[in-house]
Amino acid sequence: MTRIDAKFAALKAEGKKAFVAYVMAGDPDFDRSLELVRGLPGAGVDVIELGLPFTDPMADGPTIQLAGQRALETGMTLDRTLELARLFRQGDDETPIVMMGYYNPIYSRGVDRFLEQAKAAGIDGLIIVDLPPEEDDELCLPAQKAGLNFIRLATPTTDDKRLPKVLQNTSGFVYYVSITGITGAAEAEATDVGPEVARIKAATDLPVIVGFGINTPEKSRTIASVADGAVVGSAIVGRIGSGAPVAEVLDFVKSLADAAHSA
């Protein structure tokens, strides 16, 4: 059982929805990023999504693109991202970390070497947005063999014919993308999301967490109420990008987490 599996089992036993926060590793710089990540569990975050900076983030909107750029400009690399996870793990052995990004840096490192390093750093799962199920032999299956969850995205365009393929080797949880498009592009609506979550849950026992388009505590609560939890990324990253102090960012995260937990 991974930390992700254990976390969702504990939340289910408590009758609580999950709150997942996305931050870009190294944004705005390594030290403040580490301080922020260390503060997320205390702000109510159940699972941390740690963005791996990349030069061509095709699924991301301007807010997260700029975060990746800021991180890269301060010297953030795959090794530094793993180091950040390692340092976080020195004080927290329970909160799951999901690394979210693109395949190129992993492919360049070599899959086996990357998985060994990620596992040693305390990474629990991967979301690699540009690897479809047809490429499961590349990373998904080796990751699961190494003890990491491989989390797949389902979208509004994932129809009933495609859904079984998407779910086939997914583990940890299913990430439902609430809108068609890039991150931060539109707002999620519970009336649209609810039936889609129900459709996915009819096909899998995994938790279904909803992300994209969630930017306020009220939205966090309403989306969590129709799913197993909510993910917020751009709204948090935007505050980091505006220069808000870490404590202020964490206060905002807490308001989102409290709202999701109250659903």
CATH code of residue 257: 3.20.20.70
**Of these residues, 49, 136, 196, 228, which one is catalytic?**
49
Instruction: Tell me the C-alpha distance between 149 and 126, whole Å.
Output: 6
pLDDT of residue 178: 87
Instruction: Tell me the C-alpha distance between 110 and 177, whole Å.
Output: 29
Residue 157 lies in a domain: no
Report the length, in residues, of the chain: 263
- The predicted model gives 223-233 an average pLDDT of 97
Q: Is 244 exposed, middle or buried (0-12, 13-18, 19+ CB in 10 A)?
A: middle
How many domains would you assign to the chain? Answer: 1
Of 32-41, 44-53, 134-143, 177-186, minimum mean pLDDT range: 177-186
- Residues 6 or more apart whose CB falls under 8 angstroms from that of 233 comprise 21, 22, 23, 49, 51, 64, 183, 184, 211, 212
- The predicted model gives 220-241 an average pLDDT of 97
Alpha helix ranges (H) inside 122-177: 140-145, 163-167
Structure-token pair, residue 8: 């969702």
Q: Is 232 helix (H, G, I), strand (E, B) or coil?
A: strand
pLDDT beyond 90 at 184: no
For 95, which DSSP code?
Answer: S
Instruction: Tell me the C-alpha distance between 129 and 116, whole Å.
Output: 21
Mean pLDDT of the chain: 95
Structure-token pair, residue 228: 């197993």
Residue 209 lies in a domain: no
Residue 9 lies in a domain: yes
Instruction: Tell me the C-alpha distance between 203 and 246, whole Å.
Output: 40
Angle in degrees, 0-180, between the axes of helices 246-261 and 234-241, rounded to the nearest 10: 160
Catalytic site residue 60? Answer: yes
- The predicted model gives 197-214 an average pLDDT of 96
Query: Which pLDDT tens digit goes with each residue over 150-172?
Result: 999 999 999 999 999 999 999 99
pLDDT beyond 60 at 182: no
Residue 187 lies in a domain: no
Domain range spanning residue 101?
A: 3-149+215-261
Q: Is the pTM of this model over 0.85?
A: yes
Angle in degrees, 0-180, between the axes of helices 234-241 and 62-73, rounded to the nearest 10: 50
Q: How confident is the model at residue 55 (pLDDT cuts 50, 70, 90)?
A: very high
**Of these residues, 27, 60, 124, 196, which one is catalytic?**
60
